[in-house]
Amino acid sequence: MELLFLGTGAGVPAKERNVSSIALQLLEERGATWLFDCGEATQHQILHTSIRPRRIENIFITHLHGDHIFGLPGLLGSRSFQGGDTPLTIYGPKGIQAFIEISLSVSYTRLKYDLQVVEIEEGTIFEDERFLVIAKQLDHGIPSYGFRVVEKDLPGTLLVDKLKALGIRPGPIYQQIKLGKTVQLDNGTVIDGRDFVGPPQKGRIVTILGDTRYCEASVELAKEADVLVHEATFAAEDSALAHDYFHSTAVQAAEVAKLAGVKRLILTHISSRYQGTLSEELLEQARELFPNTELASDFSSFIIPRKK
């Protein structure tokens, strides 16, 4: 599991930072990539990475401001043109379907894959046997959502040495034992599979928030997450501007991380007023309150290790 930042700027593209898009790489977990937001030129950014558009399985849109959605029509069309034929689902606030339909219709874009658009409300918006995604509305003046991506716990590892010590040889029976079932051996002995499986492997939690002022929903979504991705559009001294424009400061992002008990905070969505070394001041301000903070740049990647 890896976070790859394709765009870390706010509002408009800048020389150092493109507008918002984050890829959650789940190649080992499901052979897929999930995108969070798709600002202008996201597909150009993808060209500089190992991401394959046909492997993009889900796109989660936090809100409908242009710097988070203007890259969608181009990416959807190129995915089809490049031979992508697997289904793709887009989750986003009310209005995202109209935006996509009009963009594709006016440009006469025809997709060769099944595209599903889900207009979301608060609650669980995605769930399968491996993951679930919970959405909550934030405070940004327009509907803006944060997403809590939860990897479900994995079964414990099979204690093979313990089985071999009893003379139980590898075969189909191992699968039954791994499932924790009661199994009768050839000699009539009955064993409980649960005695031969280690403790469950705890799943990981990644919280990715859209644009927002400080709000309780941010803390709830981030509770004990392995990683919190939070906007830091403004520095602490510009907190009045942050409030007026429905954004957060780096310090407010750190406050959310501390209150939620997260393991690591990653700052993104940096205003172009903080170029070069000025952006490092945002990082320093956040670290004073929450030391395990990182500042994302375009193409920054962060591995999210499995819990031990």
Please spell the DSSP secondary structure of 186-250, one letter per residue. Answer: TTS-EEEGGGGB-PPBPPPEEEEE-S--S-HHHHHHHTT-SEEEEE--B-GGGHHHHHHTT--BH
User: What pLDDT shows up at residue 212?
Assistant: 98
299: left (phi over 0), alpha (psi -120 to 50) or beta: left
Query: Residue 214 falls within a domain, yes or no?
Result: yes
Whether pLDDT at 84 is above 90: yes
User: What pLDDT shows up at residue 199?
Assistant: 87
Which one of 195, 220, 252 terminates a domain? 195
Query: Residue 32 falls within a domain, yes or no?
Result: yes
- Looking at the fold, whether 133 and 217 belong to one and the same domain comes out as yes
Query: Residue 230 falls within a domain, yes or no?
Result: yes
The first and second tokens of residue 67, run together, are 């710097």
Query: Residue 52 falls within a domain, yes or no?
Result: yes
Query: Residue 62 falls within a domain, yes or no?
Result: yes
- Looking at the fold, whether 167 and 282 belong to one and the same domain comes out as no
pLDDT-based confidence at residue 139 (cuts at 50, 70, 90): very high
Query: Residue 37 falls within a domain, yes or no?
Result: yes
pLDDT-based confidence at residue 275 (cuts at 50, 70, 90): confident
- Averaged pLDDT for residues 212-241: 98
Query: Residue 98 falls within a domain, yes or no?
Result: yes
Q: Which domain holds residue 16?
A: 2-154+200-303
- Looking at the fold, whether 190 and 207 belong to one and the same domain comes out as no
- Looking at the fold, whether 23 and 167 belong to one and the same domain comes out as no
Kindly report the pTM of this predicted structure.
Answer: 0.92
- Looking at the fold, whether 182 and 233 belong to one and the same domain comes out as no
Whether pLDDT at 301 is above 90: yes
Please give the residue that has the higher pLDDT: either 175 or 51.
51
User: What pLDDT shows up at residue 268?
Assistant: 98
- Looking at the fold, whether 180 and 280 belong to one and the same domain comes out as no
Mean pLDDT of the chain, nearest integer = 95
- Looking at the fold, whether 226 and 173 belong to one and the same domain comes out as no
Instruction: Report the CATH number that the domain containing residue 96 is assigned in CATH.
Output: 3.60.15.10
Which one of 171, 195, 219 terminates a domain? 195
Q: For the ranges 84-88, 109-113, 185-189, 278-282, which has the lowest average pLDDT?
A: 185-189
In this structure, which amino acid lies at residue 136? K
- Averaged pLDDT for residues 23-48: 97
User: What pLDDT shows up at residue 178?
Assistant: 84
- Averaged pLDDT for residues 91-117: 98
- Looking at the fold, whether 286 and 180 belong to one and the same domain comes out as no
- Looking at the fold, whether 75 and 147 belong to one and the same domain comes out as yes
- Averaged pLDDT for residues 271-294: 95
Annotate the chain with DSSP letters as a single string: -EEEEEE-BSSS--SS--S-EEEEEEHHHHSEEEEE---TTHHHHHTTSS--GGGEEEEE-----HHHHTTHHHHHHHHHHTT--S-EEEEESTTHHHHHHHHHHHTT---SS-EEEEE--SEEEEE-SSEEEEEEE--SSS--EEEEEEEPPBPPPB-HHHHHHTT--SSHHHHHHHTT-EEE-TTS-EEEGGGGB-PPBPPPEEEEE-S--S-HHHHHHHTT-SEEEEE--B-GGGHHHHHHTT--BHHHHHHHHHHHT-S-EEEE-B-TTS-THHHHHHHHHHHHH-SSEEE--TT-EEE-PPP-
- Round to whole Å and give the CA distance between 109 and 173: 52
User: What pLDDT shows up at residue 198?
Assistant: 86
- Averaged pLDDT for residues 145-149: 98
- Looking at the fold, whether 166 and 260 belong to one and the same domain comes out as no
Residue of 106, 30, 112, 117 lying closest to 69 (CA atoms): 117
- Looking at the fold, whether 94 and 69 belong to one and the same domain comes out as yes
Partners of 150 in beta bridges: 132, 205
Q: What percent of the chain has pLDDT over 90?
A: 82
Residues near 94 by beta carbon (within 8 Å), at least 6 away in sequence:
119, 143
If one counts the domains in the chain, the total is 2
Residues near 175 by beta carbon (within 8 Å), at least 6 away in sequence:
none
Catalytic center residues: 67
Query: Residue 308 falls within a domain, yes or no?
Result: no
- Looking at the fold, whether 146 and 223 belong to one and the same domain comes out as yes
Q: pLDDT of 153-206, one tens digit each?
A: 988 888 899 888 888 888 888 988 888 889 888 888 889 988 888 888 899 999
Whether pLDDT at 308 is above 70: no
pLDDT-based confidence at residue 253 (cuts at 50, 70, 90): very high
- Averaged pLDDT for residues 16-33: 97
C-alpha dihedral sign at 116, 121, 122, 124: negative
